[in-house]
Structure 1
């Protein structure tokens, strides 16, 4: 049985908008301000400011609500001071814009000559035109759909989850945020877990697309498949956890502006009209089953902000294997987990991206089932599907069980990451170079620390002390 959702009431936080409401896209199903939504000659620009909020010490704030509010306050204070001149210039040019205060970035749709003007402003480090997005790989395998899930797929049992569910561990009390193509929330396996199941979508759903802002939808099907494996009844790991969701991607991929905007919303969820942000309603875990083709400063900053607020981030490693050095450059620091894929024979999937990451870090961190796993479709039925996109939410679900097993770990993403790594079952592999450490031949840049095994992770969580 899912628990009810209690929404706390706090004073509204200041949004950086200089008297304007936050712009949204008028039409279409993309988050990249495609030509269909712009006036002739307009382009989309990203403006990065040098100043970054000092979030030192926020991890020492024990109260979840207070910690989130303090992180947002510092981020917005920095963005307000940095962006005033740029917002004034964009307003004078009649450009539509949104302030991404989470990364101190301004995204605007304006005339081409506005870019050099903003680049010349003090405190601006870089201005660039948003590239055509990439990120949603076609799944390496998709079965024809089928009407019933049966007992689910092999993946949940392989992770050792059924024995934990018998002990009453199902993720209850934990919320997982899904940044993806949206979620078909009325699917029978997902409705009971949606935090807005009482019909109130405020703080539970975000779409930058006006046509889809009122209630959750999935514009491509990918997000529904991801959510099913994280929390879906019968087919998921954390069947008692709640979920919320945002659209950041379309079939065309995941533009930087859409991704960072969704990360910002997850840090401080708003009403469906993008007002009255409440960071106390942020999720404990965020799953991001998409990749970026390059290392983006705004996304790094956003990742650091989410970590500072206590959120664990789980990312898919990508489907560009078997080549080495193909793991997605997502996340920042040790407060996120990168997930690769294995098949039912416990062999690394051919398609699973390998490391090392572009900063030299081991990648992926861990592996989980990602071949022919059973999940939900946006049409209300089920299918088998493959990809690291579907290994990641299984790990997000295991993380929810870890947090439920020891609530003191909520807000300690570094420690949860460490637990998932150290309790993973080693899978020695040297195809992408010798392991960077020599502890049981792991971690390595193919399978990381190994295969996630939920009972061992939960046991370590129960033994953990602050």
Structure 2
């Protein structure tokens, strides 16, 4: 999956003058005062463009088609850059360990020098040479520890237990998570871990699901946890540790995004595209719209994966949405409390190009879910991070009711059945949409009501 290319010191350096307009100003400033920096080299050919040019898949699965097409394109477009990085005259070439990332058509090079950046900027196929971005989780407020969890309020508010009573519990569905990791031995999560190609840690290479931070265990618990904490308790889960320690290096996030398209073993080898998840819950992002974020979600959508993202905790001001949650081809989720009021921190639309966001809101204030300090630990947190997994779990219930359901139908069902009557209207008018009418840039289409969505899905036409 993630290719680490070891330099071979054999080739002469390129003599073409470096195009420093391709080198990001921030990186130039960093390299002016430091011996090296972690850099990302972007190449021509976005995921959506490459896949469109390749045409539809033939006998392969959607995920296999995405993987093989983007991997082949990356191999060709990155060849000259890797050729340069094997140069015996290039300063520090012997210590470079570039990682090829096919889903974003980029190279990640830790500890690169100015000479490395200059050499790569000469190549016509290189779009940009920049610093590695480090994103943040939509960090929650930890309210307090919790005990005796039998019916978490957010699960009840979305009416998930009534959906379970109809026989739809998420069975047969796989939910992916990119976060700080997961306490895989937690009592509410251990029974539905899909061990086969179910865990990857691109940074520390830990062989078993682990979470030293707590954010990832909490979010995944809200999606698929048992014992009353999760929306889809019979769904299986897989996870990738893209945010070790609470921050999310671009290289780790992209490696995890690739893992979701074609899950690997714990060493990042032996990809199995047939084991991809149906839906991925994500509680990370930033207000900066770096191209790699769009490449990830474009590839996921092409692979048939449904992406769910928290919208961010930068509210209450308008136009405070984060990305990827702000993209048109993902479900971006805001947060509500137990009185159906909007969380004060929940980011609001519109997006920079004027689109309405969030798409939907869900429980995200004082939500109780799995803790990472013990196998029976629970903790209450607040944030849009907590809201997104409720929607991911709801999607798992929809898929269990209708295997093969499309993104468009899922989106329609969730947004047209969202609860609005009980909401404590937000008076803000953002992007010209008053907070008292729906949809709007505060709650989106309303608060998640999975029972309403299921009933609309399974309703029999009138005779």
* TM-score, structure 2 as length reference: 0.85
Partner residue of 2:430 out of 433, 436, 454: 433
1:80 aligned to 2:75?
yes
* Bigger-Rg structure (1/2): 2
Measured in 1, the distance between the counterparts of 2:366 and 2:408 equals: 31
Give deviations 1:29-81, integer Å, cap 9, x for gaps: xxxxxxxxxxx933111111112353239996698x62211111111111111
Find runs of 4+ consecutive structure 1 residues off by over 6 angstroms. Answer: 57-60
Measured in 2, the distance between the counterparts of 1:419 and 1:437 equals: 23
- Contiguous gaps of at least 5 residues in structure 1: 1-12, 21-39, 197-201
Measured in 1, the distance between the counterparts of 2:305 and 2:122 equals: 35
Aligned to 1:104: 105
Aligned to 1:25: none
CA positional deviation for 1:138 = 3.9
Measured in 2, the distance between the counterparts of 1:19 and 1:460 equals: 54
Structure (1/2) with the larger strand percentage: 2
RMSD: 2.6
- Contiguous gaps of at least 5 residues in structure 2: 8-33, 88-92
Measured in 2, the distance between the counterparts of 1:461 and 1:166 equals: 16
CA positional deviation for 1:119 = 1.4
Aligned to 2:12: none
Measured in 2, the distance between the counterparts of 1:434 and 1:81 equals: 44
Conserved? CA contact 1:52–1:78, under 8 Å:
no
CA positional deviation for 1:362 = 1.2
Residues 288-297 or 419-428, more deviating: 419-428
Call closer, same or farther: CA 1:252–1:402 in 2, change over 3 Å: closer
Matches within 5 A, 1:92-241: 92=87, 93-94=93-94, 95-109=96-110, 110-131=112-133, 133-143=134-144, 145-149=145-149, 151-196=150-195, 202-210=196-204, 212-233=205-226, 234-241=228-235
**Number of residue equivalences:** 421
Measured in 1, the distance between the counterparts of 2:169 and 2:297 equals: 27
Aligned to 2:305: 311
Partner residue of 2:378 out of 360, 376, 382: 382
Conserved? CA contact 2:427–2:434, under 8 Å:
no
Measured in 1, the distance between the counterparts of 2:328 and 2:57 equals: 19
Measured in 1, the distance between the counterparts of 2:325 and 2:69 equals: 21
Call closer, same or farther: CA 1:313–1:464 in 2, change over 3 Å: farther
Call closer, same or farther: CA 1:56–1:392 in 2, change over 3 Å: same
Aligned to 1:404: 400
* TM-score, structure 1 as length reference: 0.84
Residues 335-344 or 40-49, more deviating: 40-49
Call closer, same or farther: CA 1:71–1:462 in 2, change over 3 Å: farther
Measured in 1, the distance between the counterparts of 2:178 and 2:82 equals: 27
CA positional deviation for 1:429 = 4.7
Give deviations 1:324-356, integer Å, cap 9, x for gaps: 111112157544211111111111111111111
Measured in 1, the distance between the counterparts of 2:276 and 2:460 equals: 24
